[in-house]
Structure 1
């Protein structure tokens, strides 16, 4: 198990380029299973979860060619269905949450798929019901073996259907969408997730020959086609990384320029950080954050305490609430953080409290942060990263703190952030991998 040794308290300076979007990559990579023709994908992040999914596809028989450091060509013209019955496949599926999105493409193209209950962050309950209910409405027949192994089969070609999703699940929408593009007839998905990642998947599928309308809305209409062709696709920059770097600049009093941000795809993220008092300047497609000695949390018009909560798009992504929370610890003012979607995602605040932060954990979903206004800096401690987003929040806290911190289990951070120690070191951070 690797650790980071962090010497905090030093301002950073420079330019940084965000990696390709992790959450988009997991969908786009699974979509290569929908065609026998070559698909070229660029701006793929070199991170653990994505690399594991590429390895899984390769072991399933997909031809994988690396064209550049961030560009791969995939061709699924000889998928080995027998590999799904091997212990190796079961182990790979259990280790990766994103593996669930092979279900839709495999069911649509080959009429069957199976999968162990996938892994991922331990951030609370993450049921897969939306995936399976949608796939069953298209004609899939689900068999559950025990509580952690799923088989789904179809008798012949899938058939279009109208469905109202119980939750606007991003991965659930992606799975159903990928199955529906090869189904016979028309499928309508109401209460569909409409995050930029889903929009990117839709645009890629359309270039492959799919017929999809309503892209960017919560009502998708899909006219099924017989087959799809190859395409080229470039992924968006990772909005979670962009938000993390904004928070890092504020916490450490640093002057940082984040390059090539695709600002029009960031939604409310910039304005959320502005509510915390962080100054941002858009320079073309770059975001410039000046060094700030202080930043003050806004209040509502009646003077009441600001609440920052997650929501389905175009609301704030839940993946950034950990960053917002840690940034608020050094602001002037008070904010209520309300994590609606996952009941275990705030269970890292004890580490911040040990570092000197003033936080009241109200319940599993809510925490009140009383900002220190940088009058008292956090101090370094030894801590463990519980999940990807909390891990980076703790790294930001350590870089702003006085003294030395040790962050253990940084493999969690590596799952979602590409070479984060090297990239931040280039800005002047003192991080050493142990």
Structure 2
């Protein structure tokens, strides 16, 4: 059965909301439980499709799980079923989830054998595995590819051995996978040009709590001294920075007044400043972010008077996951902005729906869109549309909540993959949204 969101927009949203645990961190740290036979307790787990699918996958692999509640789980990977890893069931289920690629690093590091499916998940462009596979090879693994099943098999018969690597790109999942493979390798592994997003930092802190020896955390130069074994630990996932950014955009577009509780401000990097560049007022109250009601907001210009460009960049630059949200927010701003999505060549292809709603956007090419703000000269109009990926889906939802009339958003499984109970939580802010 498929569901859609029926949204009647035009209501200013007001109230308090708490961000869920970070999806991207959850996929990494939950994969890391495979590195030890001891119990690992993880809290603040987001109750979303992608994460629940990964937990179900681990259970079918033989990992024992105890759900203390919907957001806390105890994992124990004492006995792994390698026959299941070669089954059609594993290929089918893991192929639906991009995050399943991160099972390879811990399996290879601990057992010397792993499998990687062809990447699944969002339809936002190519998702290369080169960084993962090249790095595994440098650690001493060999891989083969089955064209019929679109599956990679990796083997490290003599175990992995630490080495120096200069990564060809600061891939977040690639860095995480190589860290998890290297913590049990013989000798020292050095990763240069490593991703240093808060998700990766959290993974490193968790692994060190398990007994790993990782140095240089928060930098792009990691030194990993291999250890013989890892033990259990307890770990709490950070608030999801993408949800925080989504709620900032939601408040601005609906002319609402929202307080984001326990936002994890110290881990947000330049995200708040980028929203301020769009003219949105933010106020810090401890670890909460208050967005006051604004009748309008004006996009800043560069100091020489030229049009503002907002682009994604590896951390500590702006995460690409928020560009879709910022593009939508700019639609009702005063002024113009160029949104430059560098990493994924299909992520801006949802702007046709915004054009149908009355937005003024020029899609320059697959990576760039120029937004001419309406300055609330007229509201967007509700339409029927479909969600192509997680972030575009929420961007369209924000547009629908600010629009005049009724919108129908189809393919909301994409939204559910990344945002827990989003319709229930928005109703608590005053949104008129139904799951139909």
Q: TM-score range by the shorter chain?
A: over 0.9
Partner Cα separation in structure 2 for residue 155 and residue 405 of structure 1:
56
Task: State the match for 1:53 in structure 2.
Answer: 54
Task: State the match for 2:389 in structure 1.
Answer: 387
Partner Cα separation in structure 2 for residue 289 and residue 237 of structure 1:
18
Partner Cα separation in structure 2 for residue 59 and residue 203 of structure 1:
27
Q: Could you say what the CA RMSD is over the residues aligned between the two structures, in angstroms? A: 0.6
Task: State the match for 1:270 in structure 2.
Answer: 272
Task: State the match for 1:365 in structure 2.
Answer: 367
What is the CA-CA distance between 1:17 and the residue it aligns to? 0.2
Partner Cα separation in structure 2 for residue 255 and residue 140 of structure 1:
53
Q: State how 1:110-189 maps to structure 2 within 5 Å.
A: 110-146=111-147, 148-189=150-191
- Once the two structures are superposed, residues 127-175 of structure 1 have per-residue CA deviations (whole angstroms, 9 ceiling, x without a partner) of 1000000011001101111272100000122100100000000000000
Structure 2: 5+ residue stretches without partners = none
Q: When the two structures are superposed, what TM-score results if normalisation uses the length of structure 2?
A: 0.99
- Once the two structures are superposed, residues 182-238 of structure 1 have per-residue CA deviations (whole angstroms, 9 ceiling, x without a partner) of 000000000000000000000000000000100000000000000000000000000
Partner Cα separation in structure 1 for residue 322 and residue 264 of structure 2:
17
Task: State the match for 1:295 in structure 2.
Answer: 297
What is the CA-CA distance between 1:109 and the residue it aligns to? 0.6
Q: State how 1:54-93 maps to structure 2 within 5 Å.
A: 54-93=55-94
What is the CA-CA distance between 1:116 and the residue it aligns to? 2.1
Partner Cα separation in structure 1 for residue 322 and residue 250 of structure 2:
12
Partner Cα separation in structure 1 for residue 117 and residue 46 of structure 2:
25
Q: When the two structures are superposed, what TM-score results if normalisation uses the length of structure 1?
A: 0.99
Task: State the match for 1:416 in structure 2.
Answer: 418
What is the CA-CA distance between 1:18 and the residue it aligns to? 0.2
Q: Do the aligned residues in 1 keep the contact of 2:119 with 2:127 (CA within 8 Å)?
A: no
What is the CA-CA distance between 1:68 and the residue it aligns to? 1.8
Structure 2 counterpart SS, 1:158? coil
The answer to whether 1:240 aligns with 2:242 is yes
Partner Cα separation in structure 2 for residue 65 and residue 105 of structure 1:
21
- Once the two structures are superposed, residues 255-294 of structure 1 have per-residue CA deviations (whole angstroms, 9 ceiling, x without a partner) of 0000001101000000000000000000000000000000
Between 1:139-148 and 1:184-193, the stretch displaced more is 139-148
Task: State the match for 1:402 in structure 2.
Answer: 404
Which of the numbers 276, 282, 285 marks the counterpart of 1:283? 285
Partner Cα separation in structure 2 for residue 343 and residue 69 of structure 1:
35
Partner Cα separation in structure 1 for residue 228 and residue 156 of structure 2:
16
Task: State the match for 1:350 in structure 2.
Answer: 352
Partner Cα separation in structure 2 for residue 365 and residue 118 of structure 1:
21
Task: State the match for 1:11 in structure 2.
Answer: 12
Between 1:117-126 and 1:26-35, the stretch displaced more is 117-126
Which of the numbers 190, 193, 213 marks the counterpart of 2:192? 190
Structure 1 counterpart SS, 2:66? strand
What is the CA-CA distance between 1:341 and the residue it aligns to? 0.3
Structure 1: 5+ residue stretches without partners = none
Aligned residues: 434
